Amino acid sequence: MPTILTVPLALAAVLLLMLLFIVGRRAWRAMLFRRLDAYQEYWLKQLPALLAGATPHVSSLDKPKAREVLESLLVRRLQTSDPVVRTQAIQLLERSGLLDSRLELLQRGSRWQRLHSAAILGQVGSPTVIPALLEALHDKNHAVRIAAVRSLGVIGSAKVAPALVRFLVASKAVDKTVWLDAALLCVTDPQQFLPLLQSERPELRALGAQAIAECCEHLAVDQLEPFVFDPDPEVRAQVARVIGKTGGASAVRLLIAATYDEEWFVRLRALAALGQLRAVAALDAVMRAMGDHNFRVRQQAAATLAALATHPEEVLQALTLGNDRYARESYLSQLARSGMLWNTLPLLCSKQDSLRRGAEELLENAIRAGYFHEVQYAAETDPDPDIRTAAARLLEKCGTNLAFSGAEHGAGPLAPAHSG
pLDDT digits (tens, 9 = 90+) for 206-256: 888 889 888 877 788 888 888 888 899 999 999 999 888 887 788 899 999
Mark 31-47 as b/e (b = at least 16 C-beta within 10 Å). Answer: eeeeeeeebeeebeeeb
Tens place of pLDDT for every residue, the chain, 420 residues?
456 667 778 888 888 889 899 999 999 999 988 988 988 899 999 989 998 988 888 888 888 889 999 999 999 888 888 889 899 999 999 999 999 999 999 999 999 999 999 999 999 988 899 999 999 999 999 999 999 999 999 998 889 989 999 998 888 777 888 998 999 888 888 888 888 888 888 888 888 888 988 887 778 888 888 888 889 999 999 999 988 888 778 889 999 999 999 999 999 999 999 988 888 888 889 888 888 899 899 889 888 888 777 667 667 777 766 666 777 777 777 777 777 777 788 878 877 777 778 777 778 777 777 777 888 888 888 888 888 888 888 888 877 444 443 333 333 333 333 333
Tens digit of each residue's pLDDT (9 = 90 or more) over 181-215: 999 888 888 888 888 888 888 888 888 888 988 88
Could you tell me if residue 325 is inside a domain?
A: yes
- The CA-based angle 58-64-67, given to 5 degrees, is 60
CA gap 27, 9 in Å, rounded: 27
- Domain-ending residue, one of 76, 96, 116: 96
CA atoms within 13 A on the CB side of 60: 18
Could you tell me if residue 40 is inside a domain?
A: yes
| Average pLDDT of the chain, as a whole number | 83
- The CA-based angle 415-418-420, given to 5 degrees, is 165
Could you tell me if residue 330 is inside a domain?
A: yes
Could you tell me if residue 43 is inside a domain?
A: yes
Cβ burial, residue 319 (10 Å; 0-12/13-18/19+): buried
Could you tell me if residue 313 is inside a domain?
A: yes
pLDDT of residue 5: 65
Number of domains in the chain: 2
Minimal CA–CA distance to 298: which of 329, 323, 256?
A: 329
pLDDT of residue 4: 64
Could you tell me if residue 132 is inside a domain?
A: no
- Per DSSP, the three-state class of 402 is strand
Could you tell me if residue 146 is inside a domain?
A: no
Mark 171-191 as b/e (b = at least 16 C-beta within 10 Å). Answer: beebbeeebbbbbbbbbeebe
Report yes or no: 243 and 254 within 8 Å, Cβ to Cβ: yes
CA atoms within 13 A on the CB side of 355: 10
DSSP 419: P
Q: Which domain holds residue 38?
A: 34-49+66-96
Could you tell me if residue 16 is inside a domain?
A: no
CA gap 258, 253 in Å, rounded: 9
CA gap 46, 48 in Å, rounded: 6
